[in-house]
Amino acid sequence: MGPTTEELFELAVRTHSRRLLAIARSIVGNRASPEDVVQQAIVNLFQHRARYDWREPGGLMRRSVVNEALRILRTPRMTMVSDDQPDPGRGGNEPASAVAGMIDRETIDQVRQAIDQLPEHFRAALVLCEYEQMSYLEIADVLSVTVAQVKTWLHRGRRQLAVRLKTYMDEKRLVDEE
């Protein structure tokens, strides 16, 4: 006899909760508690746990957290991408890496601020694509839109992001040339 639905559900929560929290934090920023978003999504899933196949729960759980985050944020706008997202350029033992780390941190902060200014649907699509590495089809499923709409949101979101970051990158380039 295999594991029960409750055991599979519990395992899914333990396995995916950290990633779910990062997704919630990326979408809601400081406009809502990411812990509350994840908790409500998990409660919703638990209430209907018998309906789902818990052997491959990752997509279902991500979709539930994204939907709950977007539900909470319908009126106010979303804010920050979380600190749980990958930071390129970390590591190294030599002193130069500490300076590079500070510069990378500044760049990451600028990107997060620019993402903060995007409309919530652009931000949700970008977070799912860039941080969660989801396909267009998976993003469309999570956000309940067409693949064409996902492509449009990603294109427009990236374009707005580039415009918002252009001044910072131009200033950074001037400093690097000195």
Average pLDDT, the chain: 78
Judge contact between 152 and 143, C-beta under 8 A: no
Judge contact between 123 and 115, C-beta under 8 A: yes
The distance of Cα 114 from the centroid of its chain, to the nearest Å, equals 14
Q: What is the mean pLDDT of residues 80-94?
A: 44
Residues 6+ apart with CB under 8 A from 124: 27, 66, 69, 70, 78, 143
Q: What is the pLDDT of residues 17-39, one digit of tens each?
A: 899 998 888 888 777 788 988 99
Q: What is the pLDDT of residues 124-170, one digit of tens each?
A: 888 888 877 888 998 888 888 899 999 999 999 989 988 888 877 77
pTM: 0.55
pLDDT above 70 as % of the chain: 79
Going from the C-alpha of 58 to that of each of 15, 63, 104, 132, 150, the distances in angstroms are 9, 9, 31, 11, 20
Q: Say what the pLDDT of residue 156 is.
A: 93
- CATH architecture classification, 92-178: Orthogonal Bundle (1.10)
107: pLDDT strictly greater than 90: no
Q: Say what the pLDDT of residue 106 is.
A: 74
Judge contact between 126 and 157, C-beta under 8 A: yes
Q: What are the residue boundaries of the structural domains of the chain, listed by start?
A: 1-80, 92-178
Structure-model confidence comparison of residues 77 and 52, the more confident one: 52
